């Protein structure tokens, strides 16, 4: 991997605020402690899907795949879930029930899309790399499945709410021009670019294949129902494909990548446009209480 190869996550941190990138990656300043709860839950459902896909053959029965998924989830929960992350035993049990419902829905033997994802998987946790216009990117794709026309790359998330969509893609240009601050959607664009271009360098890619990319939210919708013996939780997930957005906004997305990539490799960490970053990013920043750029505005008041 080239020393100048950067991940979508690093590029997105820079797009959020160059000074944030400086503190987090260059100076390696320790941020305040934060809960590991959702990080651990992410590990659980990612590893569950990965293990199910690796253990599944194209002709496996849907019921067999479903039962395999539930056994693996139970094992992963015991391995990665810590009681210390939760406010109470009841809180932990509810979270387990909710996440288990997500896996059960995903691998539902009647209509769960995870059945097809497992049967058609050609690679999980797939490390990909690409280079366009001298800017190298890398990342790890959660799952690559073979379709009738080519390959479909998936990134599994808890939810897809607020992510890049057809209705918000125009904001990418506003971010590039300094007229809006949209780092989360910009990050989605970076991920789309890295995975679509990166998978084309994998041995299972063939010239002329269609390459698609989607985020998939496992817990996009949940419902809770009380029962005489406790409660039932159901969950439903769905994908958000960004392939066409990437094609339609290709020039803007790669201009954003060049801007962040060149800023990082050129060691340019001044937050610009500062007024917009100060308004949109500073309030939730882990480093706000020590940031000289932000504190200087307090002194000037």
Which residues, given as ranges, of the chain have pLDDT below 70?
1-3, 31-36, 298-301
Read out DSSP for 219-266?
EEEEEEEEETTEEEEEEEEEEEE-HHHHHHTHHHHHHHHHHHHHHHHT
Closest CA to 106 of 24, 38, 46: 46
Question: 44 burial class (0-12, 13-18, 19+ CB within 10 angstroms)?
Answer: buried
Q: Give all strands of the β-sheet with 135-146 in edge-to-edge order.
A: 121-132, 135-146, 150-157, 210-227, 230-241
**In this structure, what token pair is assigned to residue 286?**
């882990």
Strand partners of residue 6: 137
Q: What is the pLDDT of residues 130-140, one digit of tens each?
A: 999 999 999 99
Q: What is the pLDDT of residue 300?
A: 46
Q: What is the pLDDT of residue 29?
A: 86
**In this structure, what token pair is assigned to residue 14?**
């820079």
Residue 65 and residue 106 in contact, taking contact as beta carbons nearer than 8 Å: no
pTM over 0.75: yes
């Amino acid at each position: 991997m080239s020393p100048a190869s950067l991940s979508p996550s690093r590029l997105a941190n820079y797009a959020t605020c160059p000074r944030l990138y400086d503190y987090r990656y260059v100076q390696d300043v320790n941020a305040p402690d934060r809960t590991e709860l959702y990080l651990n839950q992410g590990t659980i459902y990612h590893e569950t899907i990965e293990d199910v896909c690796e253990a599944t053959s194209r002709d496996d029965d849907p019921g067999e795949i479903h039962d395999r998924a539930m056994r693996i989830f139970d094992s992963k929960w015991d391995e990665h879930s810590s009681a210390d992350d939760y406010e109470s035993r009841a809180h932990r049990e509810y979270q387990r029930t909710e996440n288990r419902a997500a896996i059960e829905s995903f691998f539902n033997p009647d209509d769960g899309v995870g059945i097809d994802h497992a049967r058609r998987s050609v690679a999980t946790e797939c490390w990909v790399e690409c280079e366009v216009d001298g800017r190298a990117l890398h990342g790890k794709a959660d799952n690559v499945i073979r379709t009738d026309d080519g390959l479909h790359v998936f990134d599994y998330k808890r939810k897809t709410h607020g992510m890049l969509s057809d209705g918000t893609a125009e904001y990418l240009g506003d971010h590039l021009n300094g007229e809006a601050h949209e780092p989360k959607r910009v990050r989605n664009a970076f991920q789309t670019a890295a995975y679509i271009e990166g998978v084309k360098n994998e041995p299972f890619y063939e010239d002329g294949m269609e390459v698609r990319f989607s985020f998939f939210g496992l817990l996009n919708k949940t419902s809770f129902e009380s029962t005489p013996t406790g409660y039932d939780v159901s969950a439903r997930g769905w994908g958000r494909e960004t392939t066409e957005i990437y094609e339609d906004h290709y020039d803007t997305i790669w201009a954003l990548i060049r801007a962040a990539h060149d800023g990082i490799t050129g060691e340019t960490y001044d937050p610009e446009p500062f007024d917009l970053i100060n308004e949109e990013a500073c309030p939730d920043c882990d480093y706000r209480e020590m940031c000289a750029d932000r504190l200087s505005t307090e002194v000037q008041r």
